[in-house]
Structure formats: structure tokens, C-alpha cells
Structure 1
Amino acid sequence: MLQPIRKQLRQNGHYMSKCPNNNNKNEGGFSAVFSTEQFTTSDWYIDSGASIHLTANKEWLKNVSKPYLSDIVAANQSRLVVECSGDVEIETVAADLQYRVLLKNVQYVPGLTTNLLSVSQLISNGNQVCFDNNGCEVYNPKGILVATASLNNNVYKLNVPNNGAGCLLASSNVWHRRLGHINNSYLNKTSKLVEGLVYKGRANVSNCQVCCQGKQTRTSFPNKGSRANGVLQVIHSDICGPMETVSLGGARYFLTFIDDYSRMCFVYFVKTKDETFEKFKNFKTLVENQQNVTIKVLRTDNGGEYCGKDFQAYLKDAGIIHQRTNSHTPEQNGLAERFNRTLVEKAKCLMFDENVSKSLWAEACNTACYLKNRSISAGISKTPYEIWTGKKPNVSHLRVYGSVVMVHVPRANRRKWDHKSVKHILVGYDDSIKGYRCYNPVTRKVTTSRDVMIMENIDTTLSTNNDTEVPDSVGVEDEHIEDSCADESISEGDLKDTVDFTDTDSEYVPDTVVEQEPPIAVQLPRRTERPHQPKVWDDYVTYLGGSNVVEGPSNADLPKTVTEALSGQDGCKWKQAMLDEIHSFEENGTWELVDPPENATIVENKARLVAKGYSQKEGVDYNETFAPVVRHSTLRILLSLGVQLQLRITHLDVSTAFLNGILRENVYMKQPEGFVKHCRNKVYKLNKAVYGLKQASRAWYEKVHAVLLNIHYKNSKFEPCLYIKRGENNLLTIIALYVDDFFVFCNDSVELQFLESHLKTHFKIKNLGDVKQCLGLRVTQNHNENFIAIDQENYINEILKRFGMLDCKAVYTPLESNIGISNVDGEFCDEKFPYKELIGSLMYLAVMTRPDISYAVSVLSQYNTCYTKVHWQCAKRLLRYLKGTKHFSMKFIDNQSGLVGFADADWGSDKHNRKSYTGYVFKLNGNCISWRSCKQRSVALSTTEAEYMALSEAAKEAMYLNKLVFELTGKSDCVVIHNDNQSAQKLANNPVFHERSKHIDIRYHFLRDAVANNEIDI
């Protein structure tokens, strides 16, 4: 056998390249070969006598190529055949670290007893090899120790990790697991794009249970299903709901039946899902009688409304096959699911086109179904109506949904001088009576008439303020479309020929619906695109342009232009502030510099880079503009609950908040003066909103709303700017959003940190710590004594200074009791008296922290356009009262007393028109959270009537507050409202009818329902 050649060293501890005895210059391949008795084909040995790397394992080779040597000469002068060459990757150990080393140009020699690393080839590649009595060390060209070998039996054996052999060859299954269960195709492709990924053959991984557990998906559905060959062979059905708004007839769901062959759709409206069985029986009788064909198959989901015993027994007796979908597989009932979506989308478009009330959703869905049956459907060449009836539909009678309709009043139902027609809204079509369905927004009734005049071009807007949110039980009944399907007794005719606009009498269709006025819905974000005119005095806050008041320079001290700012004594500071503002815009990606488009309106900007929104055009530069803010009463509720639940209040502020809103419209803005880049003719195309744009606040609200919902915060149903999240162990986090201020009520420090870190990924957030200033309020939190106090002393001082009353003499009543300012005869004041500005400033106090001045502000505000010197003196007296009471604060404690209200009325106190005043206050756990003082809308004939109307107003507020408290705490009790008039209490508790109460407006009698339902206790 061939024996290994040992290299004798004269010195220990020197590099092989500097060895004084290394004089041999091998020109050809040369190697020492080891005895098979000592070595294996899986080991590597460092051989100073080998001129090239050799391996005995062909499967280790990567990038295999022809050898550049045909054979090599062994130490015993025998020749060994080289079959091929390639690269081999091995694992090594050095200094307790593992390395992967790639060996280039390794020659495969069949029959070789072991694997050899050539010292000369290592050195020629820039490596250093050092030998000593303990072993050998290999350094890469960067001087890093990457391999070691141990000296055993006079040979240097390469040290490899304990977890396997020196070579990295592994099966494709192992590499499949190493690469995170990569699929076969990607594994094969990856092996060609990286180094060190070597396995035998091609990847062929199958039956991996881990892949099934982690990556298994559902079986794909066919693109097209089988189609029925005739009508009523297959009927698809599905139910949609519950809807957020109750329909006029009290429906919360709509139910559809679709014929598979014709795509004819029938829609029914139901209050509960239990009515599904009854509606199906009605549908079956109708269609089978029309077509003289029986239903063969009913295809539905697995809902309980279809799977009841009675329903199943009925289908069995009728010989109808019931095909149900698998659980969580709505695709198997895709036709019905898609039809329901189509109806909802079409109905929404009909409603949004003329902005009709949400309570008319059933009428809109009914009309959508009517139109869908007369329109082409996918996969069929005729309309569903034509396939179903055998004749083409006539659509000449169709008009724009929501159009103004003048409905003729028959002679028998009107007097000589009454109007001959009444204004209605078009809400659909009626086949059974052959006429138009018309909605009267005054009486809230739907009637059908053929004697109409439709005005498609006249704009009509139905307010959504009276939309009824879904209550626990609905006690309203009617007899319109909810009791019949959309295309019942289909008999299409040309309605155009029957519509009569003359003065002749015709058969009068009596009213079929009598609806009581529903409770006022809670405030929700408006979706209207039309400007909203606020009601006068319905809420004090509607008069305030901004309520975030802090100490600082007055508006009179601020420069009006860029030139004035830069030329003033603080010019350098203004310059830096402007540069910071520009940097914020650029860093946030708010705009990009482009050439101005042709025929486009360019929005200018003010000195502070605030866009001049008044130059925008509705429908071009903006659409929706409304953005909500948290109610002041809601904030006080949170303060009260914060004390009760011991929640810490943290203030997070968003810098340049409006710059984060995404614009849906194309808006261009001129470059600001003094900061023109490149060509002056270029303009900025806004990608995001900027301050001053009409839609800026709306865009910001939509952005932050999406961010909070993404981290599982639940948006309040009653307060659009309130977000709630409940964690483990009853940990509660509440966010009150007021424009760019986040007020976080939280007892979970981990959740607070998570919220802050998440918001920072989207916005520039500043954590201001415990809240100290909130909407112009000074907030004091005392965690030791567990109370919170709020006051507006700084704001009062600012008002006193602005109106020259800082040094006035204090008084201790807001108004004099013996002065009748409601009927003052005096000269009107000149405009030099800032009466309206003063009243506007006082209103903010009245709605935030000072219920003691609510009545005075309410009275004085009625004379904003006709005030006299007497009114001005009364307003100044109110300032004197504030001077003496500016230190007053509202203190929030916890006495566990729940929600309690107090209501009163001042009968006939307005001497001018003899109307009464309503006043109420609500307390939560002993803390004042909501109050109001306002004039009643009608004249009360007695104290009982005045007190009764006051109780009604208080009851509305109580129901809203109770719902909000329940949403926050999960606790809801009957709200007690205290009142000092026994007659009014009896009138509320006993629905009596007598001569002294029969004239009271029905809007106030909802108080009786609230009492009867145990929501209110008088």
C-alpha cells in the first residue's frame, strides 16, 4: 500500500510559504495517498505534498466540469485518473466558531481512500497555512482563522463540527426543512442562485405533514358552475342583514330568491330571520302558479333560518331537494351572495344620488331588484324579465330615483282652496297597483299613485338625522313592500300611457303607513357632500370656530404676511419656522413639483403654508369635508369614569397631523413666496392634505380611523371620535380624538406603550405625559386623593383682557333678577361694541366648565343682531361675575351614584313671546357631565306643559348618555330624572288624554315610551 509522505520541518510555528525547506516546485499534479486501514472517504486531511485538492466523493461536487488534468502522480509514482472537477463546500471549526469554506477546483479521483486539502493550492489562493507540534491553522486572505487541523498519527486531520461530516451535502428533504419548508420548484431554482446549497438530483419533497399543517389551503372552486336548463329547476336564496337602520316598515333584513336559469330575482323584507319559512311558502305559491312548473332544487347556506324542522319537513313533502353549503364556504352559494351584494350596491347608489334617508333602504333595495330584473345579466343574452315572462320589458316609465314628485290630491280629499298636489319623493315602482311609489317626508308615509308629475332635474335632499338605529325590539308595523315581493304578479305595462297630469279626478290610493316619529339617532359622521348649515343654539359649540385655547400672543400680535414676519424683530425665528414647515411637507411626501396642467384651478397659499381653501370648487377639488370631533359631554363622561376606574390620562399630540391625510382629488398649489424651487411656473401637486384645504380634516380623520381599527380598537357607535379596546384582566383603554390630540384613558401600561409605538410608525407623535391642557381646559390629576379637576381660569383672564375688564369690580350673580332684557326698548348699539365676539367667547365657557352661566348666555345670545346698550351692559356684568368666580373648577370624584338627571322649566319667562325655558343637568357618579338651558320651541299653556316638554328634552339626552355609558362600562340602569312638577310626572307616567294635553306636539310624547320601557324613571 502507498504510505503518506510527511514533510519534515526544521522549525516549529512558521508559515508553509516561508518554509526554508520548501524547495520542491511540482509542475504537474502530485499527491500522497493514504492507507485504507487508517482513513475514510468522509474525512479531510491537510497535505503539504499534494499540489491540488482531491476528493473521493463525486456527489459532493458542485458546478461539475471537465478536469484540467487527466491524471495525477502519487507519491509512489503511480498514476491516478481524474474523472472530473468542481467545487465543494465544507464546514470547519476554528476558535469555537463554525465556518463554511468553499473549495474551488477540487478533482474527483475514483478509488481515492480519503480527501486531501492541498497546502500549495490554499496558499496560491491567498490563504496562509501555519503548522506547529499541536496541529495546523488556516487563515483566509483577510487574516481570519477559518480552519484548524489536529495532528494525529503524524497526519493533519481537518476539524469539523460535531453535528456531522465535513461536507455540507444533505438530502433535498433536509434542505426543504432548512429553508423553512420551501416548495420543490423554488428549492431547485434557489440551488442555482446561491452557494453552498448541494443535494443529490432534483428536489422531490412530498407528503410533508408540517407543510400541510402550516400551508394547506382550500380546494379551488371551478370558474363556472353548471347552469339550469329551465325556470325553477334551481332556486338560490340568501338573507342579508341586520341593517344598521330600521326600514319604514320595521324590517332589518332582506331575503332574496333567484332563479338560476333566468336570473329573475325576488326580494322580501323581514323583521326577523324566523319569517324566512313563511316568505318561502309565499314565493313558492307565486312562482309555481305563474310558470306552471314546480321548484326542483333550493340552494342555500347552512343558516338556521333554512334548516329548521318545519322548513325541512315542508321541502320533503314538496319533493324539493335542499342543497346546503359546507360550513365557512359561501362560495358554494355564490350566486345568491353576489346578487345580495349587487342589490346593496345598486340601492346605495340610488340613495346617495339624491341623498335620501337611510330609513328608505328597503324601498331602494326593492327598486334595485326591479331594475336588475330589467337589465342584462352576465351569461345570458336577454333580460331576466324577458326570459321569465316571454316579452321584452318596457322601461320608458323609469325616472331618477329620489326625484321630486308632485302627487295629485283627489277632489274628495281636499277643499276648495287646498293645494291640488303634495310634494313627495320618488322611491320606486309598484306592479300590483301600476303606479309610482312616493314618499312623503313630512308624514313619513309611502303611497302609490299614477297621477303624478315627476321633476327629475330638481335637487332634493332628505336629511338623515331621523334615521332610526336598530333597537332591541321594533314595534312598528306597515303594509307596504315588506309584505310583498319585488316582482309579485308581474304584469308589465307602459306606465307612460296611464300617467295623467290633468286636473281630472282619479281613484285615490289611501295612505297605507302611519309611522310614529322615531327617536333621534346619535351623532354619526355625515356622508353628505353638501355643505351643512348648523342649527342655531341647538348646541353651543356650533358657534365656536376653534376650542383649543392656550395662553400665548393674541392674533393681533401675529404678522399678517411673510414680508411682515421676516422684517420683524423675530424674523430669524420666523425664517427657521418656515424652513421647518417646508421640511415637514417634503419629509412627509405631501407634494411633488410638476408642471401646471391645462385648464386646472391652482390653489394659492397663505403665509403659513395654509392653502386658500376658498378657491376650491366642489366636485373638482373636494367632495366630502365633514370630520367629527369628540363631544364635550363625552369628554366629561370619560373624566368621571377615569376617576371611578382609576384610569391615567395621557396626552399624545400629532405634529402636522393634516399632512397625513390622503387626498382623493387632484389638487395643485402654487409655490410659497420665498421658497420657490427651480422654475417659478411649476406648481406643487398635492399627494396629501395641507392645512386650509376643505377636505383636510376629513382626510385626517379617515387616516387615523383606519390606523386605530387596524390595531383592534372598536369605534364607538354613539361617538365617532371615541375608540375602545378591552384587554385581558378587564384592562381598559379609551381614546378620545379631538383633531390631532389623542387623550388616552388607560390602566394598562403595556397597551399604552404598544399604542404609542404603533402610532409612531404612521405619524409624528409627541407624548406630553399626564394631560395638563385639554381643549383649553386646565386639567389637574390627583392620583393620591383620586380626583380630577378642570377649570378655565386662563381662558377667563384672556377674555377679561381682550374686552378691557381685567381690573373690573366683581359681582356674584350672572344676571340681575329684576331686569327684563327680553323686551328692552333702546337704541341699537354701534358696531364698535364687540357684542357678538363677547357672546361667542362666553359660549365656550358655558358648554365646557360653567353651567352656572348657561342661562345668561342663552338669553343674551338671542340679541346678536339687535342688541342695545342694556344688553351690552348685561354682557359686561357677566364678565364681572366671571372675574369673581374665575377660580371655580369642576371636580370629578367617585361616589358610585350612577347616572342621574334633573330637569326644570321656567314657564313663560320670555316676556316678549311668552315662551318658556328648559333646563336640565345630568350627573354621573356625582359629577356634572351634561347640561343645557334653552328656550322652548312653542308656547306652553301651563306649568305642567312647560315641565313636560322640559322632561322630554332631558329624556332624549338621558337615553343617549345611558347608551354611551353602557358602551364604556357594560352597565346600564334606568335613568332617574328628578322634577318638581307632579302633574308633569303623572302625564309622563300615565298616557291620559284630556282637553288640557291634547294639543301637545307628538314629538314630546316619546317620553311616555321611554318611561314605559323602563329607560327613564321620573
Structure 2
Amino acid sequence: MNIELRARRLYSVCTNQAPDDSTPESLEKWNLANDEAVSLISNKLNHNVFISVVDSHTVCSANSLWSKIHSKFAPQTFINKGRIWLRWECLKFNGNIEEYIEKCQTLLLDISSIGIVIPNEILAYSILGKITRDCNTYDHIIDNLVMSGESVARPEIVMNKLLDLINHQKTKDINSSNKESDSSKMSALLSNATSYPYKILYVCQNGKHNPKNTTHKENSCWVEHPELRPPSNRGRKKYGKQDNEAETHQTGASALLKSKTLNTTEENNLVVDCGATHHMFNDKRLFANFIETKELKIATSDPTSSLISPGKGTVTITTNDNKLVLQNCLYVPNLSKNLISLLEMFEGSITILKENGKFKIVKENIPILEGQILNNLMISSFTKHTALLTTVRSGTCWHSRLGHPSNQVLKSMGLPIPDKEHCDVCVRGKMMLKPFNSHFDKVERPLDCLHLDLHTSFKFASGFVHVASPPYTPQLNGFVERANRTILEKARCLLLESNLPNQYWAEAVNHSTLLKNLIPTPSRKNRSPFRLWTGSSPKIKNLRAFGCKVVFAVPKQKRPWKLAPTGEMGILLGFDYESPAYRVLKLSDKRVFITSEDVLLVEEEEKYFDCVEEPVENEIVSNHDLAEEESEEEQENSRNSKNILPYPRRPKALMTSSNSGNPASYRQAIRSDNSDQWLQAIRKELHTMSELNVWEIVPIPKHTKLIGTTWVFKTKQDEHKARLCAQGFSQTHGVDFSKTFAPTGRLNSLRTLISFAASHNLKFEQLDIKSAFLNAPLEEDVFLTIPQGLDLDKQTSCLKLHKAIYGLRQAPRAWYNCLSNWLATTGFKAAVSDPCVFHQKDNCPIWIFVHVDDIAIFGKNLDKFKKEIEQEFKTKLLGQANLLLGIKIHHDIDFIRLTQEHYVESVLDLYGMNDCRSVATPLIPNEHLKAATLNELEEFEKSNLNYRSAIGSLSYISTATRPDILYAVSALSQFLKKLGMNYWKAFMDVLRYLRGTSSMCISYKRGIIHEAVAYSDADWGNCRVTRRSVSGHLILFNEGLVIWKTKKQPTVSLSSAEAEYKLLCNLASEVLWFQQFCEEVELTNNSQPMKIYEDNQGCIDTANSDCNANSRRMKHVEIQLHFIREVIKNSKILLVYTPTAAMLADFLTKSVCKPAIVREMSRLNLMRLGEKGGVKSI
């Protein structure tokens, strides 16, 4: 920390107080450095230390914070000094020089930091003394160091010399164990002398020791005392001769490894031997087709012993998920471990990779064998396969996996043939008429001739000659027709065997096409299309039967809670074409899911899964409407048949009689356990429509398109509700609808009205219009089909709408026109700046905010208006506003508070983060996310995480009540197409921040009347990829936050001043809208310009200047400058300089540290529920 503080020139701020006689400029620099030092130190502390040293005093003073850390963790007291010195005295040497020196350096640093003064000579001798006390291996090295007085002058020199001498000793030991002669040793050492930290000289010759040029002592000299030479070097040459003799001594077979070296602890281990001539196994049960032979003598590396093999056979094993079939393996009973012959096993070139004690054998970029390296031996574990598996099951399995090919095809692929002469699935799926005989000339190369079952304009652009067959003669296009037949036969067999419903025909066709490309073709000399195209044989080891059961791993982020199952059941639908992954049908929601490696495939002989819902037998239904509905559904309506899909786009989930969820259709509702309640809700909806004269029954007009209807059911607060909706997607523009736009209230307007109501102590209440759309008259003629539940003749009658219903495209616009017209008759006027805000000029004015059918009203006396609206519409008075647009409103004596704690909790529960550890900031300060690389992108795609949905869950929170996470959400949204796991981790950090601040709310203090002010800030070149700046601004009204925004600028700015200009242009537009809104609804009558606080003086000077002083540098932003200057001249805004430390919009442009976000949230009145003011430590 000292080094980093000194490097940033902040150490003086931490050790000194601010000068008393400083100028304002120097004082500002001092404050900036002080804040930076506090931020740097705070970010380096862990959570526990941060709590113990940071308080209201130290958070503002780097000197106080630094002093408190010193006093707490490095006090120069007698107790602390004694503790550190006791640790030094208890330090022991454990035999590892490098580790011992590292511990010494750490303790010496502690001794120096707390002020213990010990002479350097004593510390240096103490370091050496601990080595000689605990170990006598390095006595000669210690003696050489002690003889040199300069070497022990300081502890640092002693430790460096120790490392040098130990490295030198290691070098001598390595070279002395080499097989080369003394002369070759000398030449090798001299040629490589530059690779050592010092020059090595061997000058002890002729049996005499030379003390001048050596570091060892006379009594340890190998030349003068040859008996001291390590025994590992003696006899090496002789031993090497024995090895050579063993290598050449071969009889019938050989293995270079001694049996003693193969003693490992696990039974099912393989040892890879590059010198073995055969595979050798010691367990006879592993062999299939075992053949007894004459005893074969096997030579080993030990010439005095040999092994005997009584027979050979085939062994099948599985190692690292790879199935290996080994031919001509020798059975060697006395072999201590099983051997794999590297030369016998792999033909052609292979690659052996070695890393971190493991090895991998790769052939054609495919891992074949993996394992560990123990005692310089390559050892791999394997799984035994019994030799009693019959070929009947194996042949049947491959017949199913490959889509039921003929026995001739299986035989040509070298696969076993099933014993069954007839396959029921093949007979049912391939029964065809007699073929049409035709002949086509064979071609030499791929793409010489294409046979297609369709034609397009592609041939004209590419220069191809298209030869079309005559109409209704498919026999003349035999290649394509036969290929189609083969694909369809396989797809038909796949569906029959798997018992999947017909709606999965596309998956079966895709998989059968893949199988056709992998299977040899008899007309092409038993070569597969894959081999003809690529030149290599296809790999079919990963093939599994279509429709088999699958258990796939559920990512941790997708599990509902910690103890939820980690796997889900599914059905295999084939392989994905864009990535090496499986296509799986999830049984839980009947959706196709793409997963990679974390699957368990279970193949069975019988049918794999039956997901076709069986008809319910002997079911008695007494409800008359249900019986009538069932009979009507069976009839075909020719008028609407073109607009109805014959099959659902996604399979429907199986429903049970005990399902407590909302019904998805009218039929499910009247069949459910709550059928009485749903029927009552349906009658209530139809009665309301009849009361409001929504429709009339008329004969079906000629040449008129009828709009379909559907029922929507929902349970709200233990109340069953049914809504009849039109299928608006079938409407035609210009026929049954024209304009559809309808305005909705802006959150900025709502927060402004709430701030005004708090400052003037107005009532803030809420009401709901029942069946709002049913009150809105229609301008177009719209005709509906008879909905389910009405006892009318559907063949001759229909419903003509007089008023809108839910689902019509023009319904929201019709309701807005209806409500606004009625409000205009009662004296309300809509604002031009926000048409959903209405104002009534009166002695007791009222303001209304409308969002579809949710209405908020503000005023001193609201009784008169509530009576009037109850007379016009069916209205539910909700009293004091409590929940509006997903925002909870809390009223107390001092504040009106807006919070989304309930919504935050639901998001945390959705992603399993209810009990997570909280963090202090939404993003890591000063961290910038970048687009993912290809590898990171592939890794993220395999995780199958719905990142867009995750960001969407945070978007409304950040724009409604939580500006503190707005920059984080904006940063996480910038690379939605190039995502890596780092983005998901950053999203989780935002959730952790929300976990600790879920009760944060925007507070509007009552009785505070203050002019509106704005803050603007830009972070120049924030994006490290595009170098575009990020701008942020906010507006305070009556000291309450009402508007905020963060946005990455669309173009690159050449300077920080330019970035601020662009921000000012956007903020000026926002300020003009805010001023116009307040004037229209009479929230303010102040004609003074709004103050905008800006921390860039160059920006302020240029905007306030009549002429551009820097015309050359600023001419590219001149249009924006003219707009800003015009707004300033019209007295709409006033630019005011504020120091960067006082800029409230700073957190909207970058990820700031904890002290900054705490300070700024406090100044913006963002506090936790129940607080009187300020913010608790986050």
C-alpha cells in the first residue's frame, strides 16, 4: 500500500494534515487528493477491516484513516514488539531454503515496520544459525559464508548468497548425475556457462584440492577424497550396459518395464509402454474369444527374469469415456500391471502432451487416452467390460441408433447384425410400392450434377443449366425422390420407435438427414456421403438412439433453490448443427433444449417415452356447456380454417385435475376443480358487457372477416377473474382498425407530481376503472365470432361491437379518447408535454395522472371529483395511493417514499440470491467490461443462460426508483451479442448489491419548496472498446430526485469539453420539457432560469460566450453550441460551475467506490425505509 500511495503521490496526504495557509486552488487539489487516497485505501480493505476502521470521521480524512489503520494493525507498543520478536525466535528451518528465506523476509519487514532496532550483523548470523541448528546438510555452505566478512554484513546479502550457493549446488548435483564422461561434462558446462548466474570452474586436479577457485572445503573435495562422491554415479555405466542388453534380448515378445516398477495402488490401471510389442493383461476375465497358444516367453528389462503368456484374445475397455477394442492381447498371469503397447495401438502419427503431471495422447485432434504420470510412467485408469455381452443386443442397438438401416449397410460398416430377421418398425415405416427403374450417368467430382426437388432464380445468377422434369413425372427425378424416400422412411421409423407425437416430425427429419450422410451408400461402393465429401470416415461413436431418455445437468443459475435437483429428464431429439451439442426435449415444459456434455443417455430396447396424452375413458361431465363445447370443437369451421394452426406451435403441458394454476383455456377452466368459481367469473364478465351494451347479435355479414375470441383467466387476491379478449392479430389495417397509438403516463411526470404533492401537503389517492376498455365506443365496424359460453348459433350469427374489448388493436386508443373527452367536459385540460397528465384550474386545483386504467389524483379536496367519476364509470376507490405501476408508496408525517422492495425480492428469488452475501457497490469500481472473445462466447452459449431476460428484470428497477444501479444496467446492456461469463458474474454482483439495499427508496420531504436544479456530468472515453463517452444527468425538484438518465454518447468526442457539450445539448432539451410541463400544469410560476451545475469550466465559458474563441477546435460541434447559447440567451438555463467532488451526477457515468456512492445517495435523499434522513452504510 505504501508503494502504491507513493506512486500516485498520495502518501503525503495520508501522513500530514491540510495546510492552514493554503490558497483555495491548493486546498481544492488537497481535497481531491484526500478523496482519492480515502477511496484507494477503502477499496483495498476487506469487509471486516473496513467496518473496524471506517467511520464518519475517517471517511473524510485520509490522514485519520491511515493513522487508525497503523494504530490498529501496526502499533509500536511493547506488546506488539515482543510478539513479533517471539515469532522471529520461534522460526525454524524445515529443509527448504527458498521457503525459509521467504519467511525470513516477511518477518524482517514486520520487525522494521514496528520499529524494533536490531543490528544487521546479529540478524544475519541469526539467519545462518537457524539453518545449522535444525539441519547439518548445508554446513559447508554456511562455513564459506562465515569466512567472508562482507557476506554477513546485512541480512539481505546473506539471503541472496544462500540462494546463489543453493542453486550452484543443485547445478553440480544435476551435472554429476549425468551419463557423460568427465571430459564431456566439462565441455557441456563450459558451453552452457552463460545460463548460470556465475562462472563454474573445476580446477581440483591430480588428486589435490584448490581452495582459491572453489567454494567447497578440502575435507569435502571429491578429487582429494573420491570416496565422498555420491554412490548414484558409481556403476551407472555398467548399469546402462545391462539396460542395453535387456533391450536387445527379445524372444517372442518384450516389455521394457520391470514388474517391480509397476506396483500401483489401484487395480484397474493401464501402463503405456512405448517398447512393448503387444498389449498385455493379467486378468483372464477381460478377454473375449480367448485362444490358448503355445507358451510365449516375454523378455523384460531384467535379463534374469522373464514372463510367460499362455494365450491371447480381444479385450474391450473404457478409459476417459473412450471405448477401446484391443486385438491380439496377450494374457500374462504373473504381470503385476496391465500394459498398453503404444506402437501396437496407434497407427500413423500421434501427439503425446505432457503437463502438470498428466499426459494426453491425441490423434487427429481427438483425445484417445489420458492419465497421470507417476514415477516417469504413463498410467491411465480403465473400466472393465465383461466378455459375455452378446452381439444380438449390440446389433439391435446400432440398428436403432443409425435409423434402422439394412443389414447390408451394418455389415459394410463393420457393425454387428441383429438376429431378428424382421424389424416391426422397419416393416411399418418402409412399406412402399415397387420402385421405378431408371438410370443416370455417374459423375467424377462433387457438385458436377445437382438433383433438386425445387428450382429458384439461383441458377440464373450462377450460370447453371437447369434441366427440369415434365409435370407429374417424379420418376424422372429419381435421385432426389429416392433420397426423400430414404429420409422420410428413417424419420417415420424414428417417430414410430420413440412414440413421439407427430409435431416433432421436423426433428426426426433433421436427424434422419444426418444419419443418411453418415451411412455408406451401396451405389457408391459402400462409401458414405460424408466420406465422399470430406475424404475421411465419419465418427459415429457418439451416436445414440433418437428418442432415448436423457438426464441433463441443470446450470446452477437455473435452479430454483440450493437443494433443487441438479438434473432434469428429457428426450433426445438428435444433434445440433451449429454447435457440438445435443437437442433435448425437456419433459418439464416440453421445450427443445440445447445442451453440450453434461448429459446421461439411457438407451432401451422397448419404446423410450410416451408423451401422447391418452383419452380419458368413462369420464362423466354433467355440465351442459361443456358437452356443447366439445361437440362444437369437433366441427370444422370452413370460414376460419385458414387462420387456425392445425397443431400447436409448442406441445401443451399435461394437465391434471388437481392443477391449482390459472387455466389456459375455457375448456380447462370448466374442467378444473374450481369450475364453479370460473363459471361465475365468466357469467360476471358477460353480464358486464351486456350492461355496457358492448355488442349486439347480428347475422354474419357477407364478405366480412370475423375476429376470433379467447378467454383469459387469472386469480387476483383470492378472486377469480375472467376476461373475454379479441384475437387482434387477425385484424386488417384499414378494414377493422386504423390508428392504434395511445399515450401512457411518463414516470418523470409521476415523480414530479409526487414531489409537488409532498412539498405542498396535497392528498395523493388512487382509483381503478373497472373494465375500462368496455366503456370506450368504437369508430370502426368490428365483428366477432360467438365466444365460448354463449348459447348461440355460431354458423349464422356473430357479435357486432359497439365498444372496445381487450385484445383489439385500437382498444387502448379508444379508451384514452373516451376518458380524455369526459375529463375535458368536467374542466380538465391535458398537458401538451404529457397528454396523460390533466389539470383543473379552480380554487381547489386537482391534478390527474393516467396510465391506461390506473389513475392517480392529487389535490386538497378530491371528494367532488370522485363522485363525478363514480357516476360516469364503474370505479373502485382505493384511497391513499399504495401500489402504482409496480411501485409501492409509503406515506408518513415527514416523507412520501417510493420503493420497489417487493419487486427486488422477487428478482432475487427468481435467481436464487435471497441468501447471498451483499456487496458495497453495483459494479467493481474502475472496472470496464469488454466484448467476449470467441472462446468466451462459446462458453457462455453452452451455459444456456437467458441474459437478456436477466437485464430486463433490472431495467424497470433502475428507471423507476433506483438510479444507483442505472449505470450498472447500462454497462451490462452494451454487448448483448458478445457475452461472456464475466457479464453474468457482473450481473450477480448487481443482485448482491440489491440484496443489501433492497429497502432503498426515493424520499420526497413534506413542506420543502425549492427551485428545480440540474446536474450534468460526462466520463470522457469511458468505453474501452469504442472510446465513446458516457453522459449522465439528473434534475431535483423541491430537493427530491424526479429525473435521471445515463446514456453512452452516439459518437466519439475528441475532448472532455466536447463530451460535456453533447451532454448539455441533451440536458437542455430535458430541462425545456420539464419547464414546459411545470408551466402547463401550474406547478411553478417562477420565470427564473434553471441552474445547471457543470464541473467543466471550458464547457461553461464556451457556452456563455457570444463568439467561439476556439473556433478551430470547436467548429465540429457548432450546431449544438448555437442551440445551447440560444437557450441561455432566452434565460431558460443558467450554467453554474461546481467542483468535481460536489458533482451529484458522477455515479451515473462510471462505477464509483463505496464512500462516493454513500455520500451521493445521502445528498439525493435516497434512504432506507424508516430513516429520517441520510443513508445507512451500504
TM-score, structure 2 length as denominator? 0.38
TM-score, structure 1 length as denominator? 0.44
Instruction: Select the structure that is richer in helix.
Output: 2
